Amino acid sequence: MASVRTRLTDGGRIVIPAEFRKALGLCVGDQVLLILENGGVTVVTPAEAARQARAIVQRHVPEGRSLADELIAERRAEAARE
């Protein structure tokens, strides 16, 4: 894993080096997520955070099962009861 030392500047700003921004596909104005964990801060793109979330869900949901389809069916059944 690559690492670089940087400084905290006025207003709590941290510069993400150009090579890191390029590797993450970040441009000026892009949003990032800061995750506080294990005594440090991890910076991830929203796309990477979504990928990680999908991976967590996939570990717990059997292949071929659609949670979205199940939710839609539940909502339709609920609406039919009303």
Structural domains in the chain, sorted by start: 8-81 (2.10.260)
State the Cα–Cα distance between residues 57 and 54, nearest whole angstrom: 5
- Averages of pLDDT over runs of 10 residues in the chain (82 residues) are 88 93 94 95 94 93 92 96 92
Q: CB neighbours of 26 closer than 8 A, spacing ≥ 6?
A: 16, 20, 32, 45
Q: What pLDDT was estimated at residue 70? A: 95
DSSP of 53-68: HHHHHHHHS-TT--HH
